[in-house]
Structure 1
Amino acid sequence: MAITVTMAAGQQGWIEAHATFYGDMQGHETEQGACGYDVFKEGYGLQTAALSEALFLNGATCGSCYEIKCVNSEWCIQGAGSIQVTATNLCPHSTGPAAWCNPPLKHFDLAEPMFLKIAQYKGGIVPVQFRRVPCVRQGGLKFLLDGNPNWLLVLVFNVAGAGDVTGMKIKGSSGSWAPMVRNWGMKWQATGNLYGQALSFQVTASDGKTIQLDNVVPSNWQFGQSFEGKLNF
C-alpha cells in the first residue's frame, strides 16, 4: 500500500550556507553518528554530511538528501558543479569564533572527499548554496533490529524519496498495528514482547508518503539482524 503526494524535496530554490569537512580521505570519523547509521555498513559511504543544529532538527532530518555547490569563494573549484550528500550526523554546538554549526546558522560538515570535489583543501570553510533533493537508493527499505525482548529499537535506513521518516507503525503476526516513537536519529522504538513474531511496518516519510511492508521480518529474527523489504519510496 502506498499513498502518493507531491514530492517537496528538490522543489525549493537554492539556500545560502557554509561548508567545512571532517574525517579524512578514507572516511575515518564518519562511520557512525547522531542518526544511528553506520554509514559504510548501511551503504551511505562517503557521500554524507553532518548538519548544523538549524538543519538537523534534533535528528528529524536524518536520511534527507541535499545538492550542494560552492559559490563566491576563491577556494571553489571552477567548473566543479555540485555534489549530493545524505544527512547522517549532527555538527554539534561549539564555542568560539568558529561556531559554524550553532543556531541559526545553516552549515554542512562534509566528509573530506566530498568537500574536495567542490573546494580546495586549504580553503577550510567555503560559502555554499544548497537545496533538498529526492534520495535515490538501490533496493527496498531496510530495518536493523536492536533492544531486548520487551523493548524493540528499529533503525530504518536506505530510504528513497524524501529520505527522512516522520512516522512508523509496527505489527506483530499475533497483534495489531501500534505506533512507534522516534527514540533518536532514525531509531524507532516499540514496547511489548514481539520476539518470535513476524514483523510488519508502516513507514511514513516527511513528504507524506506511506509504505506498508507486510511480514518483512520473519518470526525467527534475532537482535542485530537487518532485513530488506521489497518496496521503497
Structure 2
Amino acid sequence: MGSYEYQIGVMVMVMAMAMLCLVGVVMSSQDGWDNAHATFYGGDHGEGTMQGACGYGDLFKQGYGLETTALSVSLFNDGKTCGACYELQCYDSPWCKPGTIKVTATNLCPANYTQKTGNWCNPPLKHFDLSVPMFTKIGVYKAGIIPVKYRRIPCVRSGGIKFEIQGNPWWMLVLVYNIAGDGDATDVKIKGSNTGWIQMTRNWGQKWQTWVQLNGQSLSFQVTTSDGKMVQSDDVAPKDWQFGQTFEGKQF
C-alpha cells in the first residue's frame, strides 16, 4: 500500500473511532432512561390530586404539591413504589417542550379492561398520569398524550420522615411519608417503650398497620426503603400521643 493510501486508511480509522466515541457518548447519556407515555388528570390548578391509592391526604400540606404523578399498574407495583421520585422528559413529538420535570408517585392510574383503545395504564404499559401543571411543563396541553423518557431519581425532602397515626385503640394504622432517598418504604417496624420491635404490614399504599395495642407508650420506628437502607427514629411520639397526630423522625 502506498503512503497516500496509508494516510487515507488512517484517516478513515480515526473518523470511525470518533464516530464510535460520539455514539458511545449519546448512548451513555441515555443510560438509566426508559420509554413511556404521559397524560394528565385533574384541573389546571391541581384539582383532583389529593388522596389517591397511596393513602396520602392533602398533598400540599404534606409537601408534595403539584409535582406528582399517578403510575400505571406495572409501575405502581401494588403500591410498593408510592413515594418514589421520577424525572421525565418529552421526546420525539411535535408537542414536546424542552426541559424535564421531577415528580413523586402519589396515586394509581388504574387499568381499564373494558375499553378497546386508550388503555394506557393497563399492564404491561409504562405510563405517567400527571397533574396538569406538570404535564404542560414538558408538553402542549392539547396533545393530550405525549411520549416520554423517564428515570428513577433520589427524592429530596425537607425535614424528617413523617408518621401520621390513625386507627383506634385496638388497631393502629400509620401513614409514612416525606421519605428522602429512594422515597418508597418497603418495610416498617414499630416499637413501644414497653415492647420489642414489631413488624408492621402494608395495609395499602404507604399505610402500615399493627394490631398490637401501644396506647400510653412512646413510639419508635424503623423505615427501610427499596435500596435496603434503614433509618431508625427513636421515641418519635411521646407516651401521650393521640390518634390523628403526625410526628417527625430522622431522615435518610
TM-score (norm 2): 0.86
Quote the residue 1:71 is aligned against. 91
1:25 is displaced (CA, Å) by 2.0
SS in 1 for 2:78: helix
Out of 103, 106, 125, the position equivalent to 2:123 is 103
Out of 192, 210, 214, the position equivalent to 1:190 is 210
Quote the residue 2:111 is aligned against. 93
1:226 is displaced (CA, Å) by 0.5
Quote the residue 2:46 is aligned against. 27
CA distance in 1, matches of 2:160, 2:212: 26
Q: Tell me, which stretches of 5 or more residues in structure 1 are unaligned?
A: 1-10
Confirm or deny that 1:225 pairs with 2:251. no
SS in 2 for 1:73: coil
1:40 is displaced (CA, Å) by 1.6
Confirm or deny that 1:56 pairs with 2:76. yes
1:13 is displaced (CA, Å) by 1.2
Out of 17, 36, 53, the position equivalent to 2:55 is 36
Correspondence list, 1:115-134, <5 A: 115-134=135-154
SS in 2 for 1:113: helix
SS in 1 for 2:142: helix
Percentage identity across aligned positions?
A: 63
Quote the residue 1:148 is aligned against. 168
CA distance in 1, matches of 2:160, 2:38: 31
Quote the residue 2:195 is aligned against. 175
SS in 2 for 1:222: coil
CA distance in 2, matches of 1:137, 1:182: 22
Instruction: Assess if the C-alpha contact under 8 Å between 1:202 and 1:210 holds in 2.
Output: yes
Q: Could you list the per-position Cα deviations for residues 28-65 of structure 1 after superposition, in whole angstroms to 9, with x for gaps in the alignment?
A: 10011000112122110000000000000010000000
1:12 is displaced (CA, Å) by 5.8
TM-score (norm 1): 0.92
Larger radius of gyration: 2
Larger mean CA deviation between 12-21 and 54-63 belongs to 12-21
Q: Tell me, which stretches of 5 or more residues in structure 2 are unaligned?
A: 1-29
CA distance in 2, matches of 1:193, 1:180: 12
Matched AA of 2:152: R
Higher RCO structure (Cα 8 Å, ≥6 apart):
1
CA distance in 2, matches of 1:195, 1:40: 30
Quote the residue 2:24 is aligned against. none
Q: CA RMSD in A?
A: 1.1
Out of 154, 160, 165, the position equivalent to 2:180 is 160
SS in 2 for 1:58: helix
CA distance in 2, matches of 1:131, 1:156: 23
Matched AA of 1:116: T
Matched AA of 2:42: G
Runs (4+) off by over 3 Å: none
